Structures are given as structure tokens and as C-alpha cells.
Amino acid sequence: MSDKIENQYFPDYPLHPGELLYDTLEGRGISQKSFAEKTGISQKHINLITSGKTLISPDTAIKFERVLGIKAYIWNKIDAEYRLYRARQEEVRELKKNIEWSKKFPLAALKKKGCFFDEPKTPVECVNALLVFLGVGSRSGYQNKYEKLEIQFRESPTFTSQSESVIAWLRIGEIQAEKIETAEYNKKKFLKNLQILRGLTCEDPKNFEPKMVQLCSEAGVALVFVPELPKTHISGATFWVNQSKAAIILSLRHKSDDHFWFSFFHEAGHVYLHSKKGYIVDTKDKTKNEIEKEANSFAAATLLPTRVYQQFIYNTPRITEKAILDFSRRINIAPGIVVGRLQNEGRIEYRWHNGLKRKFILIDS
């Protein structure tokens, strides 16, 4: 017997296996009644197959192989391709229902960043590309993954970003963090490396950025920089890739050294102090939530040790630029960080000593 199917026309759309069976029987002059008798399958079932009302099971394909000489895997392949075709047609109908939902995301920005594997050309393709990017199989899968986060956003009185834009930003960070190889998370190692990182605040971004990534990865933390997307106003976020790998995402928002370094150590505080479950996304006001207060205290004390800083305040009745520079050099910290702390606490006006702050754009931005 040969696997070749002679005088058969295969169209460029998925063929129902019943069409192939019908054409084969017609071409060989075999009646459906005779074929049913030879296969031991009811004529009614053969008719359901040839009329396209049912598909071919693997055991039926084996019987067809014995009678017609067309291998069972061919029947099964045609059957599988047709089933997939029908499933995709149904999926298109479902995707159409989610076109308006997809428009809540910053699709243009995601396309520009190359977040979609294939360039979507239609609204339906945009929905499909969005789901692929988000790493979910459906709208319900998205809700299962991100619903708790969206609830947190809605319940926060200070959250001013669009939740879909923030989730897209987080997803970019997730994808980047998953690619970074890290050691297993070590809390003591992380705390030790944070002290080393504190000493980098006086360096230029081209020097400290790779060192930051390296020192974090050595302690089991993936550090990634993801510039803001439209309608996001987020400085940073943390989450756990798995139980032995944490991730910190920084948006590069504000871009002055005091904001940048405080944001980093704030996120590091979340990793060091808080739960391994879910995402922690910084809202506009970091003082309303208890864990945000704890992360603030961690960042402040790491950058400017409490006792040393208090002595500086006590011994410096007039906070001049020279006093700030002398103090910064003595404790090896960027002067802009001291200025930011003094301004935030209301010890000096926000218009004072801003010349000591550095503005920079990191390499990944």
C-alpha cells in the first residue's frame, strides 16, 4: 500500500478530514455503505464524517488506514489541523470582544519598544500580541494574574497612574528580570552589598550602573531599569521572580541623584524587609502605607546613618553649601542626597542648594 493520495486536491485552507474521505471514496468508486461494512463502523457515523459534522478519532484513523492504505497519522494530522483552525476561528471571535479593553494599554509605546514579537496590523492582532506580551492565554488569565494589583491601585487614594499602563511597565520589568542570572537570594549578602552600593553615589552612571546590577545579582536580586510609559507616574517596584530571586524595577523618574538613589534603597528596603508574595508598587505618596514608611526609613538610614546625620543637624545651625559639601565628603555620599533629605524634612527650602544635585540619564534609558 502507498501513502500517496492520488488525484486529490488540497486547498490552501484547513481541510475537514471528511472532505478527504468523501473525495477518496468517490475517486475509488467505493460506496459509503461498503466502506462502513469493511471498517466495522456504522454507515451513519461515516456519513457524519463525510458531511463534516464530526471529526476522526485516532482509533477510527487506524481502521481507515487498514481499508484505504492512507496512514493513520495523515488522517490525524488533517484532523488536528482542522481542529486548530476551528479553535483559532473561535479565538478570533473572542479576541474581537476585547479590542476596546486592549486600547486601555499604551499599545503605541509597546510597539515602539519592540515588546511585540510580530508587528500587529489589525485590532484583533493587537489583542493577541498584547496577551502574548503579558504572558497570559486570555482576558480571564490576565484578571487572575493582575486583579489583586488592580484592586490595590483602585483602593489607593494617591494612585494617579492608569493601571493598565503600570502593569505593562511591570511586565517589561518582569521579562528583563527573568533574563538576568542571579545567585540564590541571600539576605545578609544583600545587606552587605547595599553598603558597597551606597559608596557608588558619587560616581557617574556609566560607572555605577553595571556595578549596581552586578552587586544586586550576587545577592539574588535582579535590578532592571525601565523608563516610564505614558500615563505612569511610578518611581519603582519590587516583586519576586521565584522564592530565591527578587527583582527591583526603577523607572528613572525625576532623574536627579537624590530621587534616584532614594528610590533604589527604598525598593531594596522592600526586598530586605517585606513579603515574597505579589508586587509592591510605589504610589505617589509613600507615607500612607505602613510598609512604605518602613521602606522609607530603611532608605533614609542606609544613605545617611541616623546618628551621623543628627549630629550634623545639631552641629550645623546654618546649613550652607560648604557645610553640606564638607559633610558629604566626610561620610562619602553624593551632596545632592543630603540636599534632598534636608529639603524633604523642611530644614531648607526646595529652591536652596539644587546646584549640588546631579541630573543624569542612565545607559538603559
Instruction: Report if residue 249 sits inside a domain.
Output: yes
Q: What is the pLDDT of residue 153?
A: 74
Residues 244, 299 within the same domain: yes
Convert 202-269 into a string of H (helix), E (strand) and C (coil).
Answer: CCCHHHHHHHHHHHHHHCCEEEEECCCCCCCCCCEEEEEEECCEEEEEECCCCCEHHHHHHHHHHHHH
DSSP for 323-338 reads HHHHHHHHHT--HHHH
pLDDT tens-digit map of 332-360: 999 999 999 999 999 999 899 999 999 87
Q: Which residue has the higher pLDDT, 130 or 256?
A: 130
pLDDT average, residue stretch 248-270: 90
Residues 107, 74 within the same domain: no
Residues 227, 289 within the same domain: yes
Vertex 196, ends 361 and 225: CA angle to 5°? 30
* pTM of this prediction exceeds 0.95: no
Residues 115, 253 within the same domain: no
**SS3 category, 64:** helix
Identify the weakest region by mean pLDDT among 12-21, 160-169, 336-345. 12-21
Residues 184, 314 within the same domain: yes
Residues 65, 213 within the same domain: no
Q: Which residue has the higher pLDDT, 288 or 110?
A: 110
- CA-nearest of 170, 175, 153 to 284 is 153
Q: How many other β-carbons are positioned within 10 Å of the β-carbon of residue 338? A: 25
Q: What is the pLDDT of residue 119?
A: 84
Q: Supply the range of the domain harboring residue 123.
A: 99-134
Please tell me the distance from the alpha carbon of residue 208 to that of residue 340, in angstroms, as a whole number: 20
Residues 164, 256 within the same domain: yes
pLDDT tens-digit map of 270-285: 999 998 888 888 765 5
Confidence of residue 120 (pLDDT cuts 50, 70, 90): confident
Instruction: Report if residue 71 sits inside a domain.
Output: yes
How many domains does the structure of the chain reveal? 3
Instruction: Report if residue 10 sits inside a domain.
Output: no
pLDDT tens-digit map of 171-190: 999 999 999 999 999 999 99
Residues 345, 234 within the same domain: yes
Instruction: Report if residue 58 sits inside a domain.
Output: yes
- pLDDT of 4 > 70? The answer is no
Instruction: Report if residue 311 sits inside a domain.
Output: yes
Residues 180, 222 within the same domain: yes
Q: What is the pLDDT of residue 343?
A: 93
- pLDDT of 149 > 90? The answer is no
**SS3 category, 359:** strand
